[in-house]
Every structure is written in structure tokens, then in C-alpha cells.
Structure 1
Amino acid sequence: MTKALLEKDGVNWMTKALLEKDGVNWRQKLPPIPAVPLSAQTRWSVPSAGAPGANAPPAPAAAGGPDQAAAGMERARTLKEEGNELVKKGNHKKAVEKYSESLKLNQECATYTNRALCYLALKRYKEAAQDCTEALRLDPTNVKALYRRAQALKELKDYKSSIADIKSLLKTEPKNTAALRLLQELSRA
């Protein structure tokens, strides 16, 4: 087996174990991911020959040190929470703005899937699919990203890709009723 397949099997095994132990909300029970100090980010980045810093992680908004990096992460979290409150009130357009500001400070999977939800509500399906793709780049088995991208692709009439996303989702959560329902709709399309 290749290294990539072994790593994928490890991730699938761990995901299944967490699902069995904690149920479908296992991600919410994980501890927060610690912030990586700026000094470590710059030490680990390897610039390509063509563009200096091209492979470096996105720099925090305030690149003055660990305290400012932490402040940027905190600001991103606050903006995301403000976006969440706007979604609850049905103000998806304003929520998109908050999520977009948050993503400039911290590229987080949940923020991408939240903004994708808003784009779906606003019938901006191409943007919704793009956000889900970004979320899946960060977490390839994210159920919300797979489901929301499948919804967006369905609206864009890309039924084959939509079905592929639903089938990927069902490998992680075989009893996901919303996904099973969407798969039935896609089978009729």
C-alpha cells in the first residue's frame, strides 16, 4: 500500500471509532486546534523558486508576534460567531460579509461551510460549491461540506458530481437521512 492510502485508512478508522464512541457530533467534542506561533510558521514555510513565500501559510492579520497572531485568531472567531447570529436571524447576505472577514484572518473549515450555507440560501450555487471545496481541502471527510456541495452541484445540474459527493458522505455516515433523501432526488433527476 502507498503511504497516502495508509494515511487515508488511518483517518477513516479514526473517524469510524469517534462516530461509534461519540455519535455524529464527535467533531464538536474535540478540543480546539492550538494556534501556531508566527515564528514556527515562518520557520516551516519553504518558498518556491518562482514566488517568495508562495507555500507559506496565510499570515495572520497582525504579524507582530504571538500575541497579535492570537488576537487575529480571536477576531476571526468573533466574526464567525457574529455571522452565526446573523444566519439565525435570516440575514444571509450580512452573514456572508462576516464570514468573509473571518476567513481573511483564519481559514477554518466550519467558516467555509457556514458561508456555503448562506450562498445556498442566496441561490449563489457556484460560490457555495467553491466554499465547500475549500472546506474539503482542509477536512476531506467533512460531512457538511460534502452535503452542501452536493446541494449546490444539484442546482448547477452537475448530477454526477453531486451523487459522488453524497456517496462519499454516506461512507462516513451511512444512515444520514438528509443525504439519503438527496440521493433519492438525484436518482430521479
Structure 2
Amino acid sequence: MILTADVLENAFVRLEPFEPSMRAEVRSALDCDPDSWGGMVAAAYGPHFDGWWTAAMAAMCAGSRIPWAVRRQSDGAVIGTTSLYEIRPEHRRCEVGSTFYRPETRGGPVNPACKRLLLDHAFAAGAVRVEIITDTLNPASQAAIRKLGARDEGVLARHKITWTGRIRDTAQFAILDLDWPKVRQLLDDRIAGFSES
């Protein structure tokens, strides 16, 4: 499995790998909705952005993460970020996550459009397993992951410590290469529904 930092795009979003020139745009996109950052392991809004950006760029250089800015196709605005991370080529697995979208874009085509691109990129590169995890206190996120068709693998108790110091239980999900054709069709159908409306 060799994952590359490519631009990925479809009718709704363009995913652009982080580069220094987009730092201000990404900062602007993430500098909102402090309550949504509460369950995250790391925060990236306001005063937390610089450390988060530096860590994301370092992980990208190390090959353990590919962070993308999410650009909306309709107006060219950067509306969030998402990543493939915990990249483990020797096990042909990675995680999709570190995802944040501006509040006004949630519930529409952005998340399924991004997941379609990221999952296709990972499985085309030879992944056999893509994990998606979230805080057990975030039922909306869990519902969105289930809607993708991911396997519910249970809860990892006391799994991570958030930036606020809270010990977090993590709900773990996965999509396997064996699942990808069905999941891809589900995503394509959802995205087509947005295209028709």
C-alpha cells in the first residue's frame, strides 16, 4: 500500500493536500464552533491552530498522515479539513479522520463526497482496512459513520485523552476491502441524490 498526497475531486469537493500557502485559508475554515472541538483529541481553532498545523505538517513529512483542505466546488471556499492518518503500509491499513467541516456544510453532500474520495484513494492504493473512530459521546458522528455502511466494531474504553484532558471512550468502525464495492455504491447513490436536488 502506497498512499500519495494527491488532489482528489468530484462534483462537490476538491481535496487539496496541505501546503504552506493554504495555511491562512485552513485557519479561517476551522476558527469556529468551539463546542464541536470538545471531543477531539486535538483542537485546531483559535489559539490551538498553530500547534495543530505544525503537527499535521510534521506527520505529513513523516508519511504517517495526509491532511487535506476541503474546498467546496461551488464557490472555491475552504470549508474544513480531513485526513488519512495512522498510515501503516506494512499492514495495509489507515484511518479516515481528523475531520472538521464548517457548521453550515454539515448534513449535506460534503461528508459523503469527501468519504467517497478518501476511501477510493485508500483502497485503490491497496488498503485492506480503513478505520473510522469517534468519541462515544458524539452520537451524530456515529450515525454518520454507520450511514456509510461501516462495520461497528464496538468501543475502545479509555482509549484517548482529549486536548481538554478528558479520558475518552472511542467508538470504532471499519470498512474492509471486501466491503468497499457495497459501500461505494451506497455513497454513489447518496451523492447522486444531492446532484438531482
TM over 0.5: no
| Higher strand proportion (structure 1 or 2) | 2
Compare CA radii of gyration and give the structure with the larger one: 1
| Higher RCO (CA < 8 A, seq sep 6+) | 2
TM-score norm. by structure 2 comes to 0.33
TM-score norm. by structure 1 comes to 0.34
| Higher helix proportion (structure 1 or 2) | 1
